[in-house]
């Protein structure tokens, strides 16, 4: 799968690791890197996350900026 990083510049890390990111795939989907939710937060989503899925958290501003730049 080919991935294109579309993370807004001000959310990109200038270090080697541990940064949220959004990537566009050649499969007409997005790949999102973020922080794992706490057990408490995951409980609120009980029954909505399949065994082959993970839930991550990313800064709201990052997604807002991607949407604004797409307009």
Helix, strand or coil, per DSSP, at residue 3: strand
Bigger pLDDT: 9 or 18? 9
What pLDDT is stored for residue 25 in this prediction? 95
The tens digit of pLDDT for each residue in 28-64 reads 999 999 999 999 999 999 999 999 999 999 999 999 9
Q: What is the pTM of this model?
A: 0.79
Q: What is the rounded end-to-end Cα distance, in angstroms, of the chain?
A: 26
Rounded-to-integer distance, Cα 45 and Cα 27, Å: 26
With beta carbons less than 8 A apart as the criterion, state whether 7 and 62 touch: yes
Q: How confident is the model at residue 17 (pLDDT cuts 50, 70, 90)?
A: low
Contact 66, 10 (CB under 8 A): no
- In the chain, the number of structural domains is 1
Query: Residue 27: which domain range?
Result: 3-70
Residue 2: what pLDDT?
A: 96
């Amino acid at each position: 799968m080919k991935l294109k990083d579309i993370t807004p510049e001000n959310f990109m890390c200038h270090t080697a690791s541990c940064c949220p990111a959004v990537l566009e795939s050649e499969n007409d989907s997005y790949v999102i890197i973020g922080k794992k939710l706490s057990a408490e937060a995951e409980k609120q989503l009980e029954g909505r996350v399949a065994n082959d899925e993970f839930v991550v958290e990313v800064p709201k501003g990052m997604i807002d900026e991607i949407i604004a730049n797409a307009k």
